[in-house]
Amino acid sequence: MSAPTRLTVARDAGGRAGRWRPPGGGRGWAVVWMLAVVWSLGGWLVADGPVVNASGWSRFAEFFAAALSPQLSTDFLLRTGSAALSTLSYAVLGTLLAVVVGLVIGVLVSETWWAAGTGATSHRGVSRVGWLLTRLALAVPRGVHEAVWALLLLSVLGRDPLVGVLAIAIPFGAITAKVYAEIIDESAGDAYAALRAAGARRGPALLYAVLPTALPDLVSYAFYRFECAVRSAVVLGMVGAGGLGFELVLSLSGSRHAEVWTLIYTVVVIGAVVERWGSGLRRAGGAARSRLSAVAVLGLVLAALVHLGPSLSRVVSFRTAELLAGLVAEMFPPSLPEGGWSRLLEGALVTLQMSLVAGTVAAVAAVAVAFVAARGGTTPAHRSAGMLARWLLLLTRSLPPPIWALLFLFLLLPGPLPGALALGVYNFGVLGRLCAEVVENLDRRSHDHLVATGAPAVSAFAYAVVPQAGGRFLTYGLYRWEVAVRETVVVGIVGAGGLGRLLEDQRVAFDLDAMAGTVLALIVLCALVDLISATVRGSLRR
């Protein structure tokens, strides 16, 4: 049986081969990307001189040796438990707000929603402009890292727990909206087009034709966002919000590596529970399990409200409005940093280079591991390898980027390279999990039918699995590229360079108007990356 015939059989078997096809134009984008990565690495390794920190290898080994003997004293475990409860509470409330906002706005900013219906050709230009404006509007909250949101909200709300909750919810809501919009666009196929052609309105057509297909990925991403919120809450703790992040800072500053590993293991356990919960809900499904999960979420929300006790009245108080007006007056109009446009553009270029290198490291490693890490192995060896791969992904994403940056600074001299590698390793864990879940959600009927008809395993994989997984891999990979741009802020705190380092210098100097200018540059850079991502995905789907 020829390859085209096998592909036709796979489609006729009821499998969903997917809409994504990598035409010749995809090679052009790949060449541009790799040239940019080589240019970035070449500049750091050649122009910047030595990059290896020969004296730090012993400290690096000492840190990882402490992983075998974490601090398990009663007092420290009680302190860790209290800190974990605070971190988890911030994550629960922040995720709840983010998912609700993301679902509503995600529909409204999807290309599917803005696409003109059959016979509406006179409105195509208006629809395209509307989609573009809504996507650009999302770039503002999404382009500001949650650590920056926390610092700004702290000036307005004081040390209220709402600072941590809103600092997570605002950017995560915008990020979730973007990802949900792209999941909806990837899921809107012939069934949606048929309903629209028959005269169905957009809302019902999305509900009946798109939601059933997209729901597993929407649920997967919600639980992934919850896991991310836990890590973000840890980062917020490192800048003053309390919880596990605050304890990490204390232990790291005192070089108490055993305590650091106890805290890391705590984050790993929380992440493992969340991941297991989400994957179990996706795979088992069922009304009973869904109701049980809804009850568990409600219990977590109530427990978080009781533990944190946020003051909702403070958000709408006159004092808050007065402080907000004062903050805006200090930050606007934005100003250029010391050094002017050249310093700002240099920082933006380094930030872009770091994100490109980090995204490449993460994507190559994640795709290589995803098919091993996906649950559903048929042999004991495959299941064992999958378990090890999932734990590797969990460990690499459990350490926040600043921690990875500090570890790479044991081995490398300060500069963009350790920051890029830190983001690459961290995003490998995140992207590997997302890609593994894409593999788990695939419709295997096409693949199984090809194998049953005698097709070689490689051909069955190429024609039945790659077309389904390719679009989602690309979506998540480009999404993590944009997130890496934002996360350069937190690795900049430890000297990794780029706009993050510039922002940290301005924060220490209380140069608020210059901070506003740098944040604005970061937002513009995120918007640019978003548009590039949408263009790449669109060209590969045509």
Average pLDDT along the chain: 81
More confident residue, 470 or 404: 404
Strand partners, 412: 52
* Predicted pLDDT at 131: 75
Q: pLDDT grade, residue 222 (50/70/90)?
A: confident
Q: pLDDT grade, residue 49 (50/70/90)?
A: low
What is residue 336's DSSP assignment?
A: P
Among 49-53, 223-227, 336-340, 503-507, the minimum mean pLDDT is found in: 49-53
Of residues 219, 234, 230, the one with CA closest to residue 102: 219
CATH code: domain 1-49+352-542 is: 1.10.3720.10
Q: Decide whether 1-49+352-542 matches 83-331 in CATH topology.
A: yes
Whether residue 240 is predicted with pLDDT greater than 70 in this model: the reply is yes
* Predicted pLDDT at 457: 66
In whole angstroms, what is the distance from residue 354 CA to residue 197 CA? 45
Nearest-10 crossing angle of helices 512-541, 340-373:
50
Select, from the ranges 42-51, 259-268, 461-470, the one with the highest average predicted confidence (pLDDT). Answer: 259-268
Q: pLDDT grade, residue 495 (50/70/90)?
A: low
99, 222 in Cβ contact below 8 A? yes
Q: pLDDT grade, residue 19 (50/70/90)?
A: very low
Whether residue 294 is predicted with pLDDT greater than 70 in this model: the reply is yes
CATH code: domain 83-331 is: 1.10.3720.10
* Predicted pLDDT at 284: 60
Among 80-84, 88-92, 538-542, the minimum mean pLDDT is found in: 538-542
- The average pLDDT across 156-165 equals 86
- The average pLDDT across 497-526 equals 85
- The average pLDDT across 43-59 equals 76
* Predicted pLDDT at 1: 38
Tokens of 310: 């946020």
pLDDT tens column, 330-357: 888 888 888 888 889 988 899 999 999 9
Q: Which SS3 state, helix, strand or coil, does residue 370 take?
A: helix
* Predicted pLDDT at 175: 86
Q: Which SS3 state, helix, strand or coil, does residue 3 take?
A: helix
pLDDT tens column, 410-435: 888 888 888 899 999 999 998 998 88
* Predicted pLDDT at 172: 93
pLDDT tens column, 28-39: 777 888 888 888
- The average pLDDT across 430-443 equals 82
In whole angstroms, what is the distance from residue 347 CA to residue 265 CA? 35
Tokens of 202: 């957009």
Environment class of residue 425 by beta-carbon count within 10 Å: exposed (0-12), middle (13-18) or buried (19+)? buried
Domain ranges of the chain: 1-49+352-542, 83-331
Q: Which SS3 state, helix, strand or coil, does residue 360 take?
A: helix
Of residues 363, 383, 364, 367, the one with CA closest to residue 375: 383
Whether residue 164 is predicted with pLDDT greater than 50 in this model: the reply is yes
Tokens of 41: 């690495």
Q: The whole model's pTM is what?
A: 0.77
* Predicted pLDDT at 320: 83
Whether residue 87 is predicted with pLDDT greater than 90 in this model: the reply is yes
